Amino acid sequence: GAVVSQHPSWVICKSGTSVKIECRSLDFQATTMFWYRQFPKQSLMLMATSNEGSKATYEQGVEKDKFLINHASLTLSTLTVTSAHPEDSSFYICSATRLAGGLYNEQFFGPGTRLTVL
């Protein structure tokens, strides 16, 4: 159990368009979902923390109007990159924690989405 999926796995778009990435917990309900960004050969950088039914909490330096996060249900969070530009090209990864995690809430990671903006 505890599988997280992302869709699409890769996307190429033109500069100025918006792209939506979905993150789903397939076999569990997720209290919290996290969105990360990873540049080539670099570490994962947390972008925002998303709780179901409330506004996402963004990390310092992350533009909330550019990276719109919606967490409408306990199994789905979406990240929309608005008016994408080439510098937004990156690998976007989500993770989710279980609703009933007990003392420790492990994060389960999705496979990532490769975004390329032309």
Partner 1 sequence: AQRVTQPEKLLSVFKGAPVELKCNYSYSGSPELFWYVQYSRQRLQLLLRHISRESIKGFTADLNKGETSFHLKKPFAQEEDSAMYYCALSQGGGGNKLTFGTGTQLKVEL
Q: Write out the residues near partner 1 by the rule CB under 8 A.
A: 4, 31-32, 34, 42-46, 49, 93, 95, 97, 101, 103-107, 109-112
Of 88 and 98, the one with the shorter C-beta distance to partner 1 is 98
- Nearest approach in angstroms of CB 30 to partner 1 is 10
Q: CA-CA distance, 57 to 17, in Å (whole number)?
A: 24
Q: CA-CA distance, 76 to 7, in Å (whole number)?
A: 11
- Nearest approach in angstroms of CB 105 to partner 1 is 3
Tokens of 90: 């990156």
Nearby residues of 63 by Cβ (< 8 Å), 6 or more positions away? none
- Nearest approach in angstroms of CB 18 to partner 1 is 25
Of 50 and 78, the one with the shorter C-beta distance to partner 1 is 50
Residue 87's SS3 state is: helix
Of 25 and 117, the one with the shorter C-beta distance to partner 1 is 25
Would you say 69 and 59 are in contact if contact means Cβ atoms under 8 Å apart?
no
